[in-house]
Amino acid sequence: MKVLWRMRSRALVAASVAVVIALGNVPSAGAEVTLPPGSIPVPSSGTFLYMNSEPGDFIGQGIEQLYTSDDSTINGSLPQGGGLFSASVIQGNFDHFWFVEIAARPGEPLVEGSYTGALRFPFNDDAPGLSVSGDGRGCNTLTGQFDVDEISHASTGELLVFDATFEQHCEGGDPALFGRIRIENPPPPPDVTPPTLNLPGDISVEAPDASGTNVDYSVTASDDRDPNPTVSCSPSSGSFFPVGTTTVECQATDASGNVATGSFLVQVFAPLELDLTVNSRGSVSARTGTATISGTVTCSRPISVDLSGTLQQQFARRVTISGTFSTHVDCTAPSTSWSTSVTGDNGRFGAGSANVTVNASGCELSCHSASVASTIRLTGR
């Protein structure tokens, strides 16, 4: 009779798995675990873990047990729309401790209904998952089935009720651990706290032309009761922002209708205009041969500018004196003068014509550059 029962059971499991594959996240039909007769009355309500272990079952040790919220700390969780229910049961100072995990097939939500062909969670691949362990004992592999009889959540996502009956076989054995777990949580207090808006700081960007540019930004919200509050902003991220300052108004709304508002500024600048000139006359020290050159940096808005360049002077005997220089200037719109000294690397500069090349660069919202090459006259001093 046992062999015949097992053959029928395997056929039923195979058929049920085929139904699961065909119907996606719809639970298997007709699993319905029946608890064997026991001597301990199984509660019909409240929070509890009941287990009835057949002789030879390693996990339950062949005994009947009941843990309730009166004598144990029992916690269970199942996020709304989630695929895994997990619970812990601790009695006394860990005199007894149990863990229950019941899962839909990976990637699917756990819903009310019957599930067959369960394998040990979390190694259940494309099958429902089940794992009941505790008091230092657990299955290496298991097969089983379970019925999820009731699931309910509060509007804010907290688990109110979870009720499931399970049948678990360790290591492919015939002895089973039967049981039922039920979680009843009181309704949470009303949610009157608005979400927290996570706003960026004020944003400054440079447009490619004088009209404006599209600006991307990120705004999120968090809430202690609603994992996904709704966020909206105007103008929305990616919108076109004209040159100037625009205020972005945002709000976040949670599942209870609480609203948080906030704002930040988007400042769009026209392209920076940066230019550079060199004065046509410089000076040179007759004593040291050090030249002094100068010019003007023009800018459409304040920017820090680095200047660098080369001064060259050719003498009659075809000797070229060359020197490099670098300096820094904070340009204040519309223009700021600059001046620097240049010492020859291979000799002394003297009065007369010289060629100068100057490069200017500055990074603000973006990097800009300008350059000029000019012939100037050095006068002695």
Q: Give the chain's domains with CATH numbers.
A: 2-184 (no CATH), 196-269 (2.60.40.10), 274-380 (2.60.40.3930)
The rounded percent of the chain whose pLDDT value lies above 90 is 87
Report pLDDT digits (tens) over 137-148: 999 999 999 999
pLDDT of 25 higher than 80? no
Report pLDDT digits (tens) over 205-251: 999 999 999 999 999 999 988 889 999 999 999 999 999 999 999 99
In order, the DSSP letters of 88-152 are EEEETTTTEEEEEEEE-STTS---SEEEEEEEETTS-TTS-EEEEEETTB--SSEEEEEEEEEEE
In order, the DSSP letters of 230-296 are EEEEESPTT-EEESEEEEEEEEEE-TT--EEEEEEEEEEEPPPPEEEEE-SEEEE-TTT--EEEEEE
pLDDT tier for residue 28 given thresholds of 50, 70 and 90: low
For residue 269, CA distances in Å to 92, 218, 307 come to 67, 20, 24
For residue 62, CA distances in Å to 38, 48, 134, 175 come to 12, 19, 14, 9
For residue 156, what pLDDT is reported?
Answer: 84
Q: Which of 112, 103, 113 is nearest to 151 (CA)?
A: 112
Report pLDDT digits (tens) over 106-131: 999 999 999 999 999 999 999 999 99
Beta-carbon count within 10 A of 295 CB: 22
Average pLDDT over the chain, rounded to whole?
91
Q: Are 192 and 352 spatial neighbours (Cβ–Cβ below 8 Å)?
A: no
Beta-carbon count within 10 A of 379 CB: 11
pLDDT of 381 higher than 90? no
Report pLDDT digits (tens) over 50-94: 999 999 999 999 999 999 999 999 999 999 999 999 999 999 999
**Preceding amide of 189 cis, omega within 30:** no
pLDDT tier for residue 26 given thresholds of 50, 70 and 90: low
Query: Rg of the chain's alpha carbons, rounded to an integer?
Result: 39
pLDDT tier for residue 318 given thresholds of 50, 70 and 90: confident
Please compute the mean of the pLDDT values over residues 313-320 and round it to a whole number: 86
For residue 31, what pLDDT is reported?
Answer: 61
For residue 99, what pLDDT is reported?
Answer: 98
Report pLDDT digits (tens) over 325-367: 999 999 999 999 999 999 999 999 999 999 999 999 999 999 9
Measure the CA–CA gap between 208 and 213, rounded to whole angstroms.
7
For residue 227, what pLDDT is reported?
Answer: 86
pLDDT of 13 higher than 60? no
